[in-house]
Chains A and B, each alone.
Chain A
């Protein structure tokens, strides 16, 4: 799942550690989400929405898996 967390974080001048503190998770988790290696749980996704004050659809873009042949 694509996301624009790095962009929104940079707009606010926050480091990964600062964002992690606001979300109540580790910096590793923020890093993994930004690099699209980990999809957050629904509660964490809503927490990210709350922290950035942006709708979920602006932050995350779902990419359906490619159709199998």
Chain B
């Protein structure tokens, strides 16, 4: 392996023994996660399933449900949620044990953060008597995902 210019043998050896975590491939949800085949699969599946969820939600809430029976939209909501769970389960199963441990800890952090965000948001909305559009609740999963990304970077750095 060719060394970097100006590196001593010791520096070169240390660099070879460092653990550079592919942060970009750890962060998933359609925005990142294209660094590994498993990440690509998960990003594609979660994006497609979230699209199914969004279409089903819109289908239930307004008029374009006419061409299809309501039961189709009703199945789309839980179906996409189960699908996302399956996609993440498959993804975690494909990781090696340390990557899986890091992902699970980050999920735990993101879950806690999401609960805190929901509780805080609901409290503020109720206390201030605000009228909030239901669609703005979609920001919560995005915030939770950002929390998971931060947790992943922090946790992965512990194993460098």
Contacts and interface: CB of A to CB of B under 8 A. Distances in A.
B97 A28 contact: no
B19 A27 contact: yes
A44 B101 CA distance: 14
Interface residues of B, number: 14
Contacts of A26: 96, 98-99
B18 interface: yes
B158 interface: yes
A28 B17 CA distance: 9
Given A32-B159, A37-B159, A38-B159, A44 B97 contact: yes
A39 to B, nearest CB: 10
B158 A29 contact: no
B122 interface: no
Given A38-B98, A41-B97, A28 B159 contact: yes
Contacts of B17: 16, 31, 34
Contacts of B16: 15-16
A29 B21 CA distance: 10
B92 to A, nearest CB: 14
Nearest to B18: A31
Contacts of B21: 28
B130 to A, nearest CB: 45
Contacts of A27: 19
Nearest to A37: B159
Interface string B44-79: 000000000000000000000000000000000000
Interface in B100-131: 101
Interface of B: 16-19, 21, 96-99, 101, 156, 158-160
Interface of A: 15-16, 24-29, 31-32, 34, 37-38, 40-41, 44
The 10 closest A-B pairs by CB, nearest first: A31-B19, A29-B98, A25-B96, A32-B159, A28-B19, A26-B96, A37-B159, A41-B97, A29-B96, A38-B98
